[in-house]
Amino acid sequence: MPPPAGPRKRGWYHAAMKPSASANPAVQLKIERRSNHPWIFQKMVEKPTERPKPGSVVDIYDRDGSFAGRGFYNGHSRIALRVLTQDPDEAVDAAFFERKIAQAVGLRREVLKLDAVTDAYRVIHSEGDGLSGLVVDRFADTLVIEFFSAGMFRQRDLIRRCLLDHFPDSQIYAFAEEHVQKQESFDCSTPPTPRPTVIEEHGVRFHAAPGTKHKTGFFADQRDNRLTLAGFCQDKRVLDLCCNSGGFAIYAKTIGGAKEVVGVDLDEEILEVAESNARLNKVKVRFVQADIFHWLRDVAAGRAEKFDVVVLDPAKMTRDREQVIPALKKYLDMNKLALGAVRPGGIFVTCSCTGLVSEEQFLDMLRRAAFYANRTVQVLKISGAGPDHPWQAHVPESRYLKAVFCRVD
């Protein structure tokens, strides 16, 4: 229906202008929506006369009165609207969540056939599965639900029921980071920590302990990259920097047949998990508790031999767009040092899970790091997260992980 005649005023919409099947509150945009990105920011939205509660399902109309979508509204969040559907005839109700969650599970089980190789994978990848603000990971018989929006938190009981339809008898651990709760204005009390579990991928076993300091102590997004890395490791000396719970290091030894593997991380607690993972797989890996900058400077100074294969997989550097340049500087410093640990002709795998750093920026950083390290880098492959972390072409923010496989001279 067209907007009323005369000047447009805030709050012009009324119930009769909503799609006939909807009883949702209406929210008007200041703009004519010409994008199918699911995020609409606060500055683009007219303040409703009666503001819906954070996380309410609303109907969205653009400036000229055209129906623009249906989704979650949050007047407290920078992302004021999360569009879940642009179909005026599609309700965002229990059937919607049942259908979307079934589609996400079907992708992993029927299309990707992940159950044949692992019992640990991402079940729902937020915007990548059309469920903005919701992430679900499977770790054997444990499902970890992470909320990134007030809207998804309000649907928590329904989401839990839908997941248990597909993964019966699973224990569920649901949480939200404190900064998310603050930004989205909801209160997710800390649930009891579930029992630790053991997961398996490609025949390699790892401990996973949701609810601990390290969330899970395991990152399923690197599964395919760990397997690729193993193919370079036969009879080689391998160095895993920022090794966390030892994923790359243990793959190098178990599947890769590496001669020697060293893992370095500053966190003593996570190295205990790494040690237990090595014992679980009956392999010998030398784990070192050290600051990688200090440790690598010792390598560069010649007090240690170079390695045939080096992996660098640091934690996320920033969530703040204003801190991207300092984050790139940190990447530059550590990559320059790490390149110095690779023997001529060796393999270097460098990773970034900082979503705000683009692939283009990351590759430019690598170019500069190679220049300053006086090394030549031949890029063999650029990879990302496994296909259980899909991203939609119009939502590149979901594509956060970069993994670059290189040969170094």
Give the global pTM: 0.90
Over residues 363-388, the pLDDT tens digits come to 999 999 999 999 999 999 999 999 99
Phi, psi torsion values for 281, nearest 5 degrees: -100, 5
DSSP label at 215? B
In percent, the amount of the chain with pLDDT more than 70 equals 92
Cα distance between residue 369 and residue 372, in whole Å: 5
The fourth-level CATH superfamily of domain 219-408 is Vaccinia Virus protein VP39 (3.40.50.150)
Alpha helices in 150-238 (DSSP H): 150-154, 156-166, 178-184, 223-230
Cα distance between residue 162 and residue 124, in whole Å: 12
Cα distance between residue 318 and residue 35, in whole Å: 27
Q: Where in the chain is the domain with CATH 2.30.130.10?
A: 15-85
Contacts of 330 (CB under 8 A, 6+ apart): 314, 317
Q: Where in the chain is the domain with CATH 3.30.750.80?
A: 94-184
* Residue of higher predicted confidence among 254 and 34: 254
Letter for the amino acid at 388? D
CA angle 217, 218, 223 (to 5 degrees): 170
Q: Where in the chain is the domain with CATH 3.40.50.150?
A: 219-408
CATH class label, 15-85: mainly beta
Look at residue 15 and tell me whether its pLDDT is greater than 80.
Answer: no
CATH class label, 94-184: alpha beta
Over residues 260-273, the pLDDT tens digits come to 999 999 999 999 99
Confidence at 301, pLDDT banded by 50, 70, 90:
low
